[in-house]
Amino acid sequence: MKKEHHGMVTRSQAKKDPRKRPLDEKQLRLAVKEKALIAKEKQLRGKEKALKEYYDDENKKLNDQRQQLVVDNDDSEQQCIMCKVHSNAHEQKDKATKGNKTQQLDRNKKEEELTAAQLIKEKELNSLKSTLDEQQKQAKDKELGQKEEAIKTQQLAKENELKQREEQLRVEQEKLSKQQVLPGKVILQKLNKTNLRYQEGQVNHHSIARIIFTHYSCLPVAEAFHNTEAEGFPRDYATFQEIYVYPDEMTGTAINRVIANFSESITTEYRFHDCYLCSILRQGFLREWIGKRDESDFGPGFYSAESSVLSHEYAKRAQRDGNFVILVCKVATGHIQVLRQLQRSRTCPDKGYHSVCGQLPESDEERETVVYREDAIVPVGVVVYNWFDIWHQVRT
């Protein structure tokens, strides 16, 4: 007998016939139900066979009885009884056959219903797949549109920033052209010697000179304000009041682009030939020269101060003309670490910091900023001065 595969497709059959594909989970459930029905049909067939055997045995017994009746010369009544028995057996057999036909019809009907339900489910799955594909396509298109808008916004912001920077450079160049100062030229201004009393303190200004570098890559560098209209003093008296430095964002730049070239007359007058100051202005600060003379409070580094008084404490007179010199620098401090105790063995700030601010409890106003990298500090100006009795505090 051939084995029937109801609803199941093997791999070999699927390869031979491309229309036959492995069923999904729901189709497998239907196939399992169909297998159950087939098993029930087999059981019914077995029962039918058993009944047939039983009827055959009964017929055999009846035949034996009939033969016995013939031998015993039974009368016609016994023959009638045998006929009735046979007729009853035939009736029962007909009933069983009708029942089997009814079951077969019911099974065929159920198979048709299962096939229709399977087709409906397949249609629903196809419609869901098409809906999901469309939604995914719309989401991707929306995401791409948002990315394009963000890129356009960033490009516009960068263009606006560039325009603003160009405008700032243009304004600065216009200011320079009005002042008739070319990029890289040194401005030198000398104030007359004065002798005055200021808030009960004697300040003797011997010679105050201001040198400001106006190189285009580091403008605005500095401005020196001097008060010529102090209360109670004539206009020709002058007090050196304050120096304000306007630092712009510094991300590291070459020293030769920031420091202007000295003219022959200025280097001659202020003795800038072959000195440490000239080397710093032309080459920048070098780490190899740190800590050569004395020990530092917060380790070997580049020190700068907010107060010019504190800077003056480290300044030394020139041997020839006796002038003092203070450098005006731009310092990229970044994330500052505040230290309130001396740490002479320190060589760099802690992790997460870029510079150190030394602020000792006994001198809250005298704060020092220390950077440990050469590209974090750039000299942008020089203040040359000379006085004998410093009483008035000069703030930078």
Range 94-101 contact pairs with CB under 8 angstroms and sequence separation of 24 or more: 96/48, 96/51, 100/44, 100/48
Question: Residue holding tokens 């920048």?
Answer: 284
The gap from C-alpha 74 to its chain's centroid, in whole angstroms, comes to 111
> For residue 201, what are the CA distances in angstroms to 198, 204, 217, 236, 237?
5, 10, 41, 20, 16
Residue that is last in its domain, among 110, 132, 154: 132
The gap from C-alpha 365 to its chain's centroid, in whole angstroms, comes to 41
- Whether 161 is in a domain gets the answer no
Written as six digits, the tokens of 208 are 């105050």
Regarding whether 110 and 32 lie in a shared domain, the answer is yes
Written as six digits, the tokens of 301 are 């580094």
Regarding whether 244 and 335 lie in a shared domain, the answer is yes
| Single-letter amino acid, residue 63 | N
CB–CB of 69/79 below 8 Å?
yes
CB–CB of 331/371 below 8 Å?
yes
Domain of residue 192, residue span: 186-387
pTM of this prediction? Answer: 0.35
Tell me the average confidence (pLDDT) per consecutive run of 10 residues in the chain, 396 residues long.
Answer: 49 52 72 84 82 80 76 60 70 77 82 85 86 87 88 90 85 61 32 31 30 32 32 32 31 30 34 59 80 76 80 64 71 87 89 88 75 85 57 36
Q: How much is the pLDDT for 168?
A: 83
- Angstrom distance (rounded) from CA 77 to CA 80: 5
- Whether 168 is in a domain gets the answer no
Q: How much is the pLDDT for 292?
A: 61
Regarding whether 113 and 35 lie in a shared domain, the answer is yes
Q: How much is the pLDDT for 350?
A: 93
- Whether 344 is in a domain gets the answer yes
Regarding whether 202 and 72 lie in a shared domain, the answer is no
Regarding whether 192 and 125 lie in a shared domain, the answer is no
